[in-house]
Amino acid sequence: MRYNLLDGHQIRLIEGGQAYFEALVLAMDEARSQVHLETYIFDFHGAAETVAQALERAALRGVRVWLVVDGVGTPSLPEAWRERFDKAGVQCQIYSPLGTLGLLIPSRWRRLHRKLCVVDGHLAFCGGINILDDWYDPHHGTLAEPRLDFAVCAQGALVQQVQETMTQLWWRIEGVKHVRQQHFPEAFSSFRAAGLHLPWTSDKFPGGASHIVAKAGLLLRDNVLHRRQIERAYRKAIGNARHEVVIASAYFLPGRRLRQALIHAARRGVRVRLLLQGRYEYFMQYHAARPVYGVLLAAGVEIYEYEASYLHAKVAVVDPDNDRPWATVGSSNLDPLSLLLAREANVVVADKAFAQQLHRCLCKAMDTQSTPVVAEQYTQRPWGQRLRDRIAFGLMRLALLLSGNRY
Active site residue 321: no
Alpha-carbon Rg for the chain, nearest whole angstrom, is: 21
Of residues 104, 113, 44, 70, the one with CA closest to residue 251: 113
Q: Of these residues, 9, 178, 226, 312, which one is catalytic?
A: 312
Kind plus residue range of the DSSP H or E element containing 104 = none
Q: Of these residues, 43, 133, 222, 319, which one is catalytic?
A: 319
Q: Which residues 6+ apart lie within 8 Å of 206 measured at CB?
A: 23, 26, 27, 30, 119, 123, 153
Active site residue 177: no
- Report H helices in 89-203: 158-180, 184-193
Active site residue 364: no
For 49, other C-beta atoms within 10 Å of its C-beta total: 15
Answer whether 253's CB lies under 8 Å from 288's CB: yes
Q: How far apart are CA 311 and CA 305, in angstroms?
A: 9
DSSP-assigned beta bridge partners for residue 148: 311
Q: Of these residues, 314, 352, 359, 389, which one is catalytic?
A: 314
Q: Of these residues, 9, 36, 70, 115, which one is catalytic?
A: 115
Q: How far apart are CA 28 and CA 117, in angstroms?
A: 10
Of residues 340, 342, 336, 344, the one with CA closest to residue 395: 336
CA 77 to chain centre: 21
Q: How far apart are CA 10 and CA 121, in angstroms?
A: 14
Answer whether 238's CB lies under 8 Å from 318's CB: yes
Active site residue 137: no
Strands (E), 250-366: 271-277, 302-306, 314-318, 326-330, 344-350
For the chain, the residue count is 407
Of residues 190, 221, 191, 232, the one with CA closest to residue 111: 221
Backbone angles phi, psi at 79, to 5 degrees: -55, -40
Q: Of these residues, 9, 36, 113, 226, which one is catalytic?
A: 113
Kind plus residue range of the DSSP H or E element containing 36 = strand 34-39
Answer whether 160's CB lies under 8 Å from 198's CB: yes
Distance linking the first and last C-alpha atoms of the chain:
19
Q: Of these residues, 120, 133, 149, 351, which one is catalytic?
A: 120
* Residues tagged active-site: 113, 115, 120, 312, 314, 319
